[in-house]
Structure 1
Amino acid sequence: MVDELPVASVRLVGVLPHLDRPFEYAVTPETAAAGPGMRVRVRFSGKDTEGIVLARHAEPTTDRPLAPLHRLVSDDVVVPPALMRACEDVAERCAGTVGDVLRLALPPRHARAEKSDRAAEAKDAERTAEAEEAERAAEAPSAPAVDPSPPAQDASPPEDAAPPEDAAPPAPRPGDRYPGLAALLSRAGSATGPVPRATLTLDAADTWTTVAADAISDLDPALGALVIAPDQRDVARMSRVLEDRGIAHEVLAGTEGPEKRYRTFRRILRGATRVVLGNRSAAFAPVRNLALAICWDEADDLLEEPRAPYPHTRTVLQCRSAEERCALLFLSASDSVPLHALVGAGYLARLDPVPAPVTAVRPHIVAMDQYLRDREGPSGRSRVPQEAMRVLRRGLERGPVLVQVPRTGYAPAIACTFCGTRAQCPQCAAPLSQAGRGGPLHCRVCGRREDGYRCPECDRTQVRAMVIGSARTAEELHRAFPHVPLKVAGGAHGALEDADVPDHALIVATPGAEPAPAHRYAACLLLDADAMLGRAAFDADVEAIRRWRNAIALVRSADDGGEVLVVGTATLPAIRDLVAHRSTFFLDRVLEDRRELDLPPFSRVAEVVGDREACRTFLETVELPDGTAVFGPVDLEGPEAAGRARAVVRLEPSRSRELAGALRAGVAARSARKAKGSLRVRLDPPDVF
């Protein structure tokens, strides 16, 4: 093998951007088994560097002597060819390096975990061989024994016999309410024809774990499935549902230790199971015969990779769907702007449910409109009006009640009572907050305690809370319902497990921290809706709707007594969309506004952040495509941002590959010149505007 293919093309992991290309090495007799997708160690720039073999060749492309492969780390094919192509596609889309993408895709090798899993693999193979031998022995022909008695009549009906008329029909499954899902699964794993890709917005009565489990159950047993969820609690919920159905699966979580994670990775690699669950880091899992990839709540910011080249999980799954021809399904409780745009472009199909009564598929949702406020008088303008208290009392009679607040803490934002100027720390300019009733003002960044605060605008000392946190909300509700069990989830209080939710209890939670009890909430109160909509972000309204609908999905249907009250300005478009059922008017309006303003997804945006001089020099030297709009660079504000600047570049989406290629080449050229200063380039950052 060494004499026939003595040259190995190797992709190095974690090298500088200008060195992100295949390198050739000579295969030695000790590394003769090295093949495509295997891990090797090579000497590069005087260091022992990890690499992935791309291919073996008979002749080198250079006349220079080749350095030998230093060591074959393992004969496991950790990066199959299709997954390698997906990694290259992700790097190209995100203006990054393939080496950085491989570093995200591959967990560090753990020798003890590999050794123990090899032993387990050998035992599994031995048991399989014994079972096959026993089956062949049972099927061997033998002389039939003579039985003088007449044969007994078989009481079991034939397989093709019709069921009795009085037999109860099988119970309908939530996944059956979406007819397009069956069509998607019928095409999953097909080697010919278009690859099925769809988005499915669930009704509040349908849990995403049940619908995903229905899809996996209907998949061919020989095909693989990958399920990605933002939070580890979502992964655990999905795992429990699959366990109840007896579906074998693996959980590849970033919170596991190195040994357990690599053992799980290797079990997936050798095809010990066909179903894999995980969060963001599991998007690259090497599932055998991958035919279906499911992503829950793709708009959650936990699915945005914080490490270079900063790919979104949606992008990773799109690349894998293209390279491995696996069906792609996005599940969510609320439509997102990127998916809605992909539906409009024809990339995704929209799977709608069969028509059903509104009261059967969602709770009764009411917003505090002008009529309700006028009916209550002055209390109707309070933060927790009497109508909210009535909803809480009715809900507590039937089960637990959820109260969602936008912020954690007691009073996380303080302002002057007279002029409304926000209270800031005189030392680091961070917002001052209050930890408890009557407690002193303090800074959560530098820890400064401000006992004698005076407003810099009007010199007054009285302050008020701009935003009420979950701790103070719980304190107020405890005074109103002293005999009711009360739990706080999120922030400093930590997570609350689903099984720890008491019946007939009040649960105060921040968005994303809501526990999901088995029998759902009897009622839900969405407080401070205007504060959530007032967040300083261009997508604050869409993100607020997503967080509200995720909470509403935990409430019982209206037929079962579930109700939701939104405390906010009822005339705001976002709140009106929340009350409406399956309306796309609001999202269509958002897309139209973004089209007129050249905001994503109708423009490809990149952010360049770094030292002031490095940022300026990069923009002067990089060869951006014609028509690219450049904004900045502008100096960043804050004591920690001294000397740093930020610029934004924008181009039409049809030329996004050109923009990514130009930025990628500019970063590589800067790396080759060993330019001074730090610089970071991100495409489509969520907080760019």
Structure 2
Amino acid sequence: MTRDAQEGLFEAPAPAADPAPAPSSRPRTTAGFAVAGHDPVASVRLIGVLPHLDRPFDYAVPATLDAAGPGMRVKVRFSGREHDGIVLARSARASTDRPLAPLARLVSEDVVISPDMLRVCEEVAERCAGSVGDVLRLAIPPRHARAEKADRAAEEKESTEASAPPKDPVPAEETDEEDEASAAPSDDLLTAYAGLPALVSRAGAPQGPVPRAAVVLEPAHSWDELTAQAIESLPDGAGSLVIAPDQRDVQRLHRCLESHGIAHEVLTSADGPEKRYRAFRRILRGASRVVIGNRSAAFAPVADLALAICLDPADDLLVEPRAPYPHLRTILQARSAQEHCALLLVSRSLDPQTLFLAETGYLHLLPPVPAPLTAVRPHIEAMDEYLREREGPSGRSRMPQQAMRVLREGMARGPVLVQVPRSGYVPAVACTFCGTRCRCPQCAAPLVLRGHGGGLQCTVCGRREDAYRCPECSRTQVRALVIGSARTAEELRRAFPDAPFRVAGGAQGPVPDDDVPDGAIVVATPGAEPAPPGGFAAALLLDADAMLARAAYDADVEAVRRWSNAIALVRPQAEGGRVLIVGTATLPAIRDLVAHRSRIFLDRVMEDRRALDLPPISKVAEVVGDRPAVRSFLAQTALPDGTDVFGPVDVPEEDDRIRSRAVLRLPVERSRELADALRAGIAARSAHKVPGSLRVRLDPPDVF
């Protein structure tokens, strides 16, 4: 849809260019009801209907529902069933000469979506080859009557208190000293990055270009504190939206904003329907202009939105698992364009997509102001050949003596962190002789070791294999491919029997930030590390080669991201912080951690992706479904010229079903052509009721 067409969504539809029937005072309707006295025709967009029905439909407005206006939620009858819909516009004439059915019910008189947000939903649908109805289902939470009633009462109470005469101010001498201390300014992190104060000062400006930037934080700098200072620097009345990938990150930011005295709303997927809708309605009426949350808060209707911040945009938790599977970055980019709000991406390491956006001129990379390395990062070293030779035989082991020394010295100053790639005891086992991975003979799922002295067990059907025999060489001896967090903690307990232990991630669940005593050893999987208030005194990154050996084209970039997030939890070198990486020190990803702010690794990654036409250099789509459905979709969809089609190939799944998968690729400059073609193909398939299941995703995180 063109921009001109989008801007007219909430306006009365223009008369058709073709000869139309003579206008009448009333539209043709089905019998049995009286229409409204003015603008009796409502243009309604249905929510969650089939793709080929993803367009506005005209309905007659009964006299009893004359209050229905643009942006309100209604119930309508369509194809014999009742559907949710959004009123786009009211007009005097219909765009069709067919009799109009009436609006069934006005769900609420709340205007739940604005014209700008509707255009955002349309832009996201177009970029993701989806339907606007599916995006609306993501953007607007289901109505909760009790929450709406309670919030209306709160709104009336607030208006009554606002109209009451103001109370006498508290004398200055009676102000608590603690409040004055809490208001004292902390270190100014905004000035630590060149250009960041200018971006915040330009946020929400009605004129001029929209400021967009990305910041790679120094390990010693807190993203919570930087976000709080950015929000405090906004002008009064300006709205802000902050998205974090994880629920714990949202809670940490919540505590930070409370310490700064910043009123805000928390909107997360963990909230129940009532709490979520009440928060949504407070945001909708402008009572809360600072909103924080995870992926589900991306469409929060913040009034006067001036600044949108996203933490760790490369995290796969920011990919919506429901159709049309948009990435949070796509949603915020659409909001930045439609609502003219500044966009800031904050991360611990630079990812290829952000670098590509900077190279194309969409945003700017804001470098840090030079500072002593000992003040902004811990001492980072890798187990290179010199250290391994010095250690002797233990230097080639999984946990050399150098690692033990780092842990022992760190425990004397505070808690220490040990990061391992996988949870469990021994999550991957292989034949000692031929290296064939051990799999269940019944369902072919991986076999694992659950504990010390236990037999092999299937992760899917639960079958126990006490007498396993390799199907390739008939040998019975097996070895561990990957050591999990439980086995690592067991080994460390034997070496440090008096130290308190915490295991985070997997079946053990998370560890609270305040449950990490001094001298404790925390064994955690990537992303599950707690953040103690004083930081870790040391960190040990084990099995680095195993993280880099993951079967994915972005394994090295993802490993650097996870390592960088763990390093940010360690104290700076000036306070004794130290990090040891146990892996092949000559690998580019590990060398990138040791070198401070080097671009050699990421430049090499981008060079390789250009040579291989991998994202973000190319736009990639994945088509997965039943074998006949995938083949017929590819045969009937008019793909753009030059589209590379890989497959379809059969992919066996755990439930013994055989599904097909095809990958489509086109230069990123023509990404809209690919999205439009896939969208048209999905709509045509829906209109012809082609049997079989099918899923189409653009830019899936695990495509290669």
TM-score category (smaller protein): over 0.9
Name the CA distance, whole Å, in 1 between partners of 2:570 and 2:325: 35
Matched residue, 1:13: 47
Partner AA of 2:471 in structure 1: P
Partner AA of 1:82 in structure 2: D
Q: For 2:195, what is the secondary structure of its paired residue?
A: helix
Residue 128 in structure 1 maps to residue 128 in structure 2: no
Matched residue, 2:88: 54
Shift of 1:11: 0.6
CA deviation digits over 1:191-232, x for unaligned, max 9? 111100100000000011011111011011210000000010
Moved more, 468-477 or 70-79: 70-79
Residue 684 in structure 1 maps to residue 699 in structure 2: yes
Partner AA of 1:180 in structure 2: G
Summarize the Cα distance change of 1:224–1:172 in structure 2 as closer, same or farther, 3 Å threshold. Answer: same
Matched residue, 2:490: 475
Matched residue, 2:588: 573
Which one of the candidate residues 294, 309, 324 is aligned to 1:309? 324
Residue 323 in structure 1 maps to residue 323 in structure 2: no
Shift of 1:170: 6.4
Name the CA distance, whole Å, in 2 between partners of 1:31 and 1:131: 38
Summarize the Cα distance change of 1:397–1:224 in structure 2 as closer, same or farther, 3 Å threshold. Answer: same
Q: For 2:164, what is the secondary structure of its paired residue?
A: helix
Matched residue, 1:100: 134
Which one of the candidate residues 493, 498, 510 is aligned to 2:513? 498
Partner AA of 2:123 in structure 1: D
Name the CA distance, whole Å, in 2 between partners of 1:545 and 1:641: 36
Which structure 1 residue ranges, 4+ long, deviate > 6 Å from structure 2?
Answer: none
Matched residue, 1:221: 236
Shift of 1:176: 2.3
Name the CA distance, whole Å, in 2 between partners of 1:131 and 1:448: 73
Q: For 1:630, what is the secondary structure of its paired residue?
A: strand
Partner AA of 2:55 in structure 1: R
Name the CA distance, whole Å, in 2 between partners of 1:639 and 1:60: 52
Shift of 1:302: 0.6
Alpha-carbon contact 2:44-2:56 (below 8 Å) kept: yes
Name the CA distance, whole Å, in 2 between partners of 1:109 and 1:482: 55
Shift of 1:171: 5.2
Name the CA distance, whole Å, in 2 between partners of 1:383 and 1:643: 39
Alpha-carbon contact 1:175-1:210 (below 8 Å) kept: no
Alpha-carbon contact 1:406-1:511 (below 8 Å) kept: yes
Which one of the candidate residues 309, 314, 338 is aligned to 1:294? 309
Name the CA distance, whole Å, in 1 between partners of 2:654 and 2:38: 62
Shift of 1:68: 0.8
Gaps of 5+ in 1: 139-154, 157-168
Matched residue, 1:408: 423
Matched residue, 1:589: 604
Which one of the candidate residues 668, 674, 677 is aligned to 1:653? 668
Residue 442 in structure 1 maps to residue 476 in structure 2: no
Name the CA distance, whole Å, in 1 between partners of 2:654 and 2:247: 35
Q: For 1:446, what is the secondary structure of its paired residue?
A: coil
Q: What does residue range 249-288 of structure 1 map to in structure 2 within 5 Å?
A: 249-288=264-303
Name the CA distance, whole Å, in 2 between partners of 1:604 and 1:172: 42
Residue 552 in structure 1 maps to residue 567 in structure 2: yes
Matched residue, 1:198: 213
Q: For 1:372, what is the secondary structure of its paired residue?
A: helix
Shift of 1:464: 1.0
Name the CA distance, whole Å, in 1 between partners of 2:679 and 2:207: 34
Moved more, 647-656 or 529-538: 647-656
Which one of the candidate residues 363, 368, 376 is aligned to 2:391? 376
Shift of 1:656: 0.7
Name the CA distance, whole Å, in 2 between partners of 1:131 and 1:305: 48
Shift of 1:311: 0.2
Matched residue, 1:464: 479
Which one of the candidate residues 352, 369, 391 is aligned to 1:354? 369
Q: What does residue range 103-252 of structure 1 map to in structure 2 within 5 Å?
A: 103-131=137-165, 172-252=187-267
Alpha-carbon contact 2:212-2:344 (below 8 Å) kept: yes
Name the CA distance, whole Å, in 1 between partners of 2:697 and 2:203: 33
Name the CA distance, whole Å, in 2 between partners of 1:131 and 1:610: 65
Identity %: 69
Alpha-carbon contact 1:577-1:586 (below 8 Å) kept: yes
Alpha-carbon contact 1:30-1:71 (below 8 Å) kept: no
Shift of 1:81: 0.8
Shift of 1:561: 0.3
Residue 79 in structure 1 maps to residue 94 in structure 2: no
Shift of 1:446: 1.2
Alpha-carbon contact 1:525-1:567 (below 8 Å) kept: yes
Name the CA distance, whole Å, in 2 between partners of 1:7 and 1:585: 61
Q: For 1:499, what is the secondary structure of its paired residue?
A: coil
Partner AA of 1:104 in structure 2: L
Name the CA distance, whole Å, in 2 between partners of 1:10 and 1:530: 55
Name the CA distance, whole Å, in 1 between partners of 2:618 and 2:538: 41
Partner AA of 1:107 in structure 2: P
Q: For 1:263, what is the secondary structure of its paired residue?
A: helix
Name the CA distance, whole Å, in 2 between partners of 1:547 and 1:521: 16
Name the CA distance, whole Å, in 2 between partners of 1:273 and 1:215: 17
For normalisation by structure 2, the TM-score amounts to 0.92
Matched residue, 2:613: 598
Summarize the Cα distance change of 1:636–1:170 in structure 2 as closer, same or farther, 3 Å threshold. Answer: closer
Partner AA of 2:291 in structure 1: V
Shift of 1:238: 0.2
Shift of 1:645: 0.6
Alpha-carbon contact 2:244-2:250 (below 8 Å) kept: yes
Alpha-carbon contact 1:401-1:507 (below 8 Å) kept: yes
Q: For 1:203, what is the secondary structure of its paired residue?
A: coil
Residue 619 in structure 1 maps to residue 634 in structure 2: yes
Matched residue, 1:25: 59
Matched residue, 1:159: none
Alpha-carbon contact 2:47-2:85 (below 8 Å) kept: yes
Name the CA distance, whole Å, in 2 between partners of 1:407 and 1:583: 28
Name the CA distance, whole Å, in 1 between partners of 2:547 and 2:218: 23
Partner AA of 1:205 in structure 2: A
Gaps of 5+ in 2: 1-34, 174-183
Name the CA distance, whole Å, in 2 between partners of 1:185 and 1:481: 49
Partner AA of 1:51 in structure 2: G
Name the CA distance, whole Å, in 2 between partners of 1:184 and 1:20: 38
Q: For 1:179, what is the secondary structure of its paired residue?
A: coil
Alpha-carbon contact 1:470-1:509 (below 8 Å) kept: yes
Matched residue, 2:379: 364
Name the CA distance, whole Å, in 1 between partners of 2:443 and 2:191: 56
Alpha-carbon contact 1:225-1:291 (below 8 Å) kept: yes
Moved more, 633-642 or 565-574: 633-642
Shift of 1:641: 5.4
Name the CA distance, whole Å, in 1 between partners of 2:334 and 2:600: 30
Name the CA distance, whole Å, in 2 between partners of 1:547 and 1:664: 35
Matched residue, 1:396: 411
CA deviation digits over 1:435-488, x for unaligned, max 9? 001111001111111111001122111111110000000000010000000100
Which one of the candidate residues 502, 521, 536 is aligned to 1:487? 502
Residue 510 in structure 1 maps to residue 544 in structure 2: no
Partner AA of 1:557 in structure 2: P
Name the CA distance, whole Å, in 2 between partners of 1:385 and 1:30: 78
Shift of 1:346: 0.6
For normalisation by structure 1, the TM-score amounts to 0.94
Shift of 1:3: 2.7
Name the CA distance, whole Å, in 2 between partners of 1:574 and 1:565: 14
Q: Number of aligned pairs?
A: 658
CA deviation digits over 1:101-147, x for unaligned, max 9? 01111111000000000000000000001146x79xx9xxxxxxxxx
